[in-house]
Amino acid sequence: MKKLLKLTPMFLLLIVLSSCSSVRVATDYDREANFENYKTFAFFKPGIDKAEINDLDKRRILRAIESELMAKGYTKSENPDMLVSIFTKSNQRVDIYNNAWGSGAWGWGGYGGWGWRSGWNNNQVSTTTEGVLYIDLIDANKKELIWQGSGTGNLETRSVEKKEARINEFVSQMLAQFPPEKK
């Protein structure tokens, strides 16, 4: 039992580290929209121009969206049924890991009051930048939002290939939930 308790922090750390590489996806949509009516798309330049991301990454995102939509049978058009826009934001994520190892225990510490006593107590703080990518699909005729996907995850990577793969992962996981299933 003691060995299991000593290994628990390691297992938790592994779970946290493996979850850092995943993309957390959320979607929302207009329940009144008939998604079967949408066959064509175009990019909404005014919305895309406002996205606070460098032009290289914008092009990577747009190529990934275009590829995913075309794989689903949608066609890029000058006279589209649906407009595609993106926007981004970033958040600073702070993770604190309390790795308490050793023979210490909680108890009365004299003039220090209750708290951890003796043993090795090591707190580790990790900060990463998490990016959030939003994909908006807009009815071209009504100019109304019909579907929105958001993907949140760690974007920092030094390799161009890894960055491109990460962007593709974001877009793929988000658009996997488009169009929404009929209920």
Residue ranges per structural domain of the chain: 24-93+130-175
Structure confidence at residue 126 (pLDDT)? 74
Q: Give the whole-angstrom CA distance, residue 51 versus residue 165.
A: 20
pLDDT digit string (tens) for the chain, length 183 residues? 555 444 444 333 333 334 445 899 999 999 999 999 999 999 999 999 998 888 999 999 999 999 999 999 999 999 999 999 999 987 766 777 766 555 555 555 555 555 555 545 567 777 777 889 999 999 999 999 999 999 998 866 778 999 899 999 999 999 999 999 876
Under 8 Å between Cβ of 22 and 153: yes
CATH, domain 24-93+130-175, list 3.30.160.670, 3.40.50.1220, 3.40.640.10, 1.10.12.10: 3.30.160.670
Single-letter code of the amino acid located at 7: L
Q: Tell the residue number behind the tokens 């995850």, with chain if given.
A: 153
User: Would you state the structure tokens that stand for residue 50, as one six-digit string?
Assistant: 């406002």
Q: Tell the residue number behind the tokens 């996981």, with chain if given.
A: 173
| 79 Ramachandran zone, left/alpha/beta (phi>0; psi -120 to 50) | beta
Longest Cα–Cα distance in the chain:
77
Structure confidence at residue 181 (pLDDT)? 86
Which of 86, 79, 42, 21 shows the shortest CA–CA distance to 60?
86
Q: Give the whole-angstrom CA distance, residue 123 versus residue 117.
A: 15
Structure confidence at residue 52 (pLDDT)? 87
| 143 Ramachandran zone, left/alpha/beta (phi>0; psi -120 to 50) | left
Under 8 Å between Cβ of 144 and 27: no
**What one-character DSSP code corresponds to residue 109?**
-
Under 8 Å between Cβ of 163 and 57: yes
Q: Give the whole-angstrom CA distance, residue 132 versus residue 173.
A: 13
Structure confidence at residue 130 (pLDDT)? 81
Burial of 132 (0-12, 13-18, 19+ CB in 10 A): middle
**What one-character DSSP code corresponds to residue 16?**
H
